[in-house]
Amino acid sequence: MKIRNCLNPSKPSFSFEFFPPKTDAGVASLLRTVEELAPLEPGFVSVTYGAGGSTRDRTVDLVTHIKEKTGIEAMAHLTCVGHTRDELRDVLRRLDAAGIENVLLLRGDPPQGQTTFEPVPGGFRYAEELVRFVREEDFNFCLGGACYPEGHVETASREDDLKHLKAKVDAGMDFVVTQLFFDNAFYFDFVERARRAGINVPIVPGIMPITNYEQVQRFTRMCGATVPMRLALQMERVKDQPDAVVQLGVAHATVQCMELLARGVPGIHFYTLNKSPATRMIVGALKGRS
């Protein structure tokens, strides 16, 4: 199934993102998480591509395994980091041969120790180039990409970032998924600006329930997402009580999702960090409400 066909504001889909674990025990635990989330009937799940292009085989193997064993549509992420176009073509061929129909194409972050992104010789500098490459080759994937309601961390201005997003979408993207955000105002404003700029593909909000405050502070420092002052103060107050942090994180994300659904989003993508409880509580509450 092509994901573009399940992104519909009149029947929004929930989707779950995982990362490829480094060990066999981690993989077994992830597969249990997938099983626990399956009853929520996700429209699709996705598996990230490790920083530095380090998980090529594990990403391909995991999406193939999940799709075969559970029947859930599984999307592979793929980044340009460290790969020549021939290597990227090989990964895409493997995905195609395994029956994977959806790929999220990304540039990736600069490898550790580098501040700017430098492509390898024969590789790509921007996700847009990878999208164009996939469209020029003989593949029939449904293609997703990333977008940034608060602007990408490297960009000089949100206007430039939007211009680059438009070029990336025009190169052949079917939908985009946002970076995580904790304040819906950023998403609504972004969608409005994107539509004005002529970007007409579905823009799926990416939501990460906070379950560990230090971890979220680390992520937000890396990706530039703003934690609203009130939420930050509430988190500070309970940061030494793990259960209270989860309760607060789940409550905040549930309210975010309810507003997003009420205002007609095509789906919601959850950054699960390979754990099921918080996402189960949120989606359970949302489904109970309809």
Active site amino acids: 17
Of 147, 150, 221, nearest to 183 by C-alpha is 150
Stretch that binds ligand FAD, among 64-72, 161-169, 242-250, 274-282 (CB under 6 A): 161-169
Query: What residues between 227 and 256 interact with ligand FAD by CB under 6 A?
Result: none
Q: Which is nearer to ligand FAD, 33 or 79 (CB)?
A: 79
* Residue 161 in the binding site for ligand FAD (CB under 6 A): yes
Distance in angstroms (rounded) separating the CA atoms of residues 80 and 126 = 8
Secondary structure element (H or E) that encloses residue 169, with its range? helix 158-170
Q: Which is nearer to ligand FAD, 135 or 289 (CB)?
A: 135
Q: Compute the C-alpha angle 17/20/23, nearest 5°.
A: 145
Structure tokens at 5: 């066909």
Contacts 24+ apart (CB under 8 A), 212-218: 212/242, 212/245, 213/239, 213/245, 214/239, 215/273
* Residue 79 in the binding site for ligand FAD (CB under 6 A): yes
* Residue 280 in the binding site for ligand FAD (CB under 6 A): no
* Residue 182 in the binding site for ligand FAD (CB under 6 A): no
CA 184 centroid distance within chain: 17
Query: What residues between 90 and 119 interact with ligand FAD by CB under 6 A?
Result: 104, 106-109
Q: Which is nearer to ligand FAD, 3 or 177 (CB)?
A: 177
* Residue 56 in the binding site for ligand FAD (CB under 6 A): no
Distance in angstroms (rounded) separating the CA atoms of residues 148 and 190 = 8
Residues that bind ligand FAD (CB under 6 A): 48-49, 51, 77, 79, 104, 106-109, 126-128, 146, 152, 154-155, 160-161, 164, 168, 177, 179, 206
